[in-house]
Amino acid sequence: MRGGEAVTGARRGACRVAMLGGGVAGLTAAMELAERGFEVTVVEPKGWGGKARSASVPGSGTGGRLDLPSEHGFRFFPGFYQSLPDTLCRIPLAGVRAGVEGNLREASQMLSARSGRVNETVADVSLATGPRTPLQILRAWGIAPGGDQGLSPELLYFANRMLVYMTSSQERRLGQWDATSWWDFTAAEGSSEEYRKVCVVGATRTVVAARAEVSSAHTVGGFMEAFGYGFLGQGGSAAADRVLNAPTSTAWIDPWVAYLRGLGVRLELGWQVGRLRVRGRRVERVELLGPGGQARDLEADWFVCAIPVDRVGGLLDRGLAEADPQLKTVTGLQTDWMTGIQFYLTEPTPLTRGHVVYLDSPWALTSISQAQFWDADFRATYGDGRAADCLSVDISAWDTPGIVYGKPARECTRAEVAAEVWAQLCDGLNGTVGQRLHKGLLHSWSLDPAITGLDGPGPAANDEALLINTTGSWARRPLAVTAAENLFMAGDFVRCPVNLATMEGANQSARTAVGALLKADGHPAPAPEVHALYQPEELRRLKEVDAALYRQGRAHILDTPAPWTTAPGDGRVTAPG
């Protein structure tokens, strides 16, 4: 279903669905169900779009201009996203045939910034460039091949690790590699600092906000595989990297909410789930808590729980565990901080036509200069008329000492966080050749308000933390179908083809939940498509061989110890069962 076509089916009478949560997962499920004739009510405590929504700096707009835009962290849409773009193109937008998907703009470059501008690289990741060689992909990640002798032993080994993962069977991925950390999979111990910084740590902290020591090789390897196929021009026609042409809520969430209202969806903001009331194998109703201590019940035929993973744990002793005791496994899932700060600059400052990765930054920073992609004139549209650009930065490492105060971000004040991030940006972008950033450019800044406690009373807390896929986490992630016959789960922590906390994963989980609900309801409409990640046919036979080896408890045929490893194991694995 694309281009705004709605799926309908003959019904004896519309069934009521209670959607608990209005983030990407909740709104996706609401849209799919409403288009199929269900009566949907969505309750959300904070804001439509969840972590994907944008906000603003209160009181910063003057002279009829809008307040300066802010966000939890910048949004980007990799080329391997397929389910979410399908949703975007079905959200109508006046004068745009492609719907909200028409608001996406290609980010054609990626800059790997280095301290003092040493060995920095700008990679062309545009769709126009066409398929890329493996060496071009390495350069795109900021990995410089060796000189006349070709790849260094470390880079050859890293290539081996990617080849091992890409030819591993699904059984080995879910078994051995999900139980193996990215740190151990890449043999980081005993390797050079540069190898760890670029190939091991850089692939996790700057992209998926997770420590290489605890993140599963299944997650990180799968993410890099999907990105790699995108850079190779495989698996779809979308650009490798796309961003929106306006603040997220303006370009996407607001039109989405308007479309849902037009479908008859009841959207109730300011209400959170207090308790699930369960009888037998069915959820009868949920108790809601609203503004000012209000309380009421919400009854429905079907319930979809689409609240964030950290809040799911809080519901276990308030009816959720009674509905399905197996959901207790979510308490074993971990979250970490990947949150944003925006610097508003007095001059347009397009550092590159895309994202910047600061490989030497102790706080694992990434950024994007946003105004160059937005259709509106920034200075004329936002703030007091002096700000001309928004440099949006994600902070992924909150526990590492910085370069100014020598403290981790969690122990800094909000002003110290801003000063520290600015210093690390300058360290990566400025050098002897010239300065890209200087104090004269800085108009103001805004740190994600979900971060509290930095200015006291502590300790610091993050109200919108991000799921990280630690070793063994796949088994703890719930399925969309629960033991309760009328309760389904959706969210970026629910099992789906994208094994990573992303907007695509949230969208896929919602589609899976809707498909299960339609089946349980006996609804005649087809289930939403859940798009699988691209897997080349050329590697199918190697994966079949590996599946047989894994069942026999044997190592992957290409798995070899690192050249710097002194005591390699025998490579044997224990297959499940």
Q: How many domains is the chain partitioned into structurally?
A: 3
Q: Are 430 and 338 in contact (CB under 8 A)?
A: no
Tokens 């400052």 sit at which residue? 349
Question: How many Å apart are CA 202 and CA 207, to the nearest integer?
Answer: 8
* Residue 351 shares a structural domain with residue 404: yes
**Domain annotation covers residue 279:** yes
* Residue 89 shares a structural domain with residue 192: no
Question: How many Å apart are CA 368 and CA 394, to the nearest integer?
Answer: 9
* Residue 174 shares a structural domain with residue 35: no
Question: How many Å apart are CA 79 and CA 243, to the nearest integer?
Answer: 11
Question: How many Å apart are CA 243 and CA 247, to the nearest integer?
Answer: 10
* Residue 25 shares a structural domain with residue 169: no
Q: Element (H or E) spanning 379, and its range?
A: helix 378-381
Q: Are 493 and 334 in contact (CB under 8 A)?
A: no
DSSP assignment, residue 175? I
pLDDT at 3: 39
Nearest to 103 by CA among 238, 251, 4: 251
* Residue 329 shares a structural domain with residue 343: no
**Domain annotation covers residue 253:** no
Q: Are 65 and 384 in contact (CB under 8 A)?
A: yes
- Give the number of other CB atoms < 10 A from CB of residue 127: 16
Q: What is the DSSP string of 192-211?
A: -HHHIIIIIIHHHHTTT---
**Domain annotation covers residue 78:** yes
Burial of 318 per CB tally in 10 Å (0-12, 13-18, 19+): middle
pLDDT at 432: 59
pLDDT at 13: 57
Q: Element (H or E) spanning 514, and its range?
A: helix 503-521
261-308 pLDDT per residue, tens = 999 999 999 999 999 999 999 999 999 999 888 999 999 999 999 999
pLDDT at 137: 64
Residues in the chain: 577
- For 215, 318, 557, the CA distances from 161, given in Å and listed in that order, are 15, 44, 12
**Domain annotation covers residue 439:** yes
* Residue 342 shares a structural domain with residue 447: yes
Helix (H, G, I), strand (E, B) or coil at 181: strand
**Domain annotation covers residue 488:** yes
- For 46, 297, 309, 321, 508, the CA distances from 275, given in Å and listed in that order, are 18, 9, 16, 11, 26
Q: What is the DSSP string of 272-321?
A: EEEEEEEETTEEEEEEEE-GGG-EEEEE-SEEEE---HHHHHHHGGGTHH
* Residue 351 shares a structural domain with residue 447: yes
State how beta strands 487-489 and 302-305 pair. parallel
Q: Which amino acid is at 177?
A: W
* Residue 379 shares a structural domain with residue 517: no
Helix (H, G, I), strand (E, B) or coil at 372: helix
Last residue of a domain, one of 462, 488, 513: 462
Q: Which residues pair with 19 in a beta bridge?
A: 42, 304
Burial of 554 per CB tally in 10 Å (0-12, 13-18, 19+): middle
* Alpha helices by DSSP H, 18-133: 24-34, 83-88
* Residue 359 shares a structural domain with residue 458: yes
Range of the domain at 280: 16-46+270-335+465-521
**Domain annotation covers residue 220:** yes
Which parts of the chain have pLDDT scores under 50? 1-12, 148-149, 567-572, 574-577
* Residue 353 shares a structural domain with residue 501: no
Q: What is the DSSP string of 219-285?
A: HHHHHHHHHHHHHTT-S-SS-SEEEESS-HIIIIIHHHHHHHHHTT-EEEET-EEEEEEEETTEEEE
State how beta strands 389-395 and 16-20 pair. unpaired
* Residue 370 shares a structural domain with residue 436: yes
Question: How many Å apart are CA 342 and CA 353, to the nearest integer?
Answer: 18
Where in 429-549 does DSSP place strands (E)? 442-447, 451-452, 461-462, 466-468, 487-489
**Domain annotation covers residue 479:** yes
Question: How many Å apart are CA 396 and CA 416, to the nearest integer?
Answer: 16
Domain at 469, CATH number? 3.50.50.60
State how beta strands 354-358 and 109-113 pair. parallel
**Domain annotation covers residue 87:** yes
* Residue 445 shares a structural domain with residue 389: yes
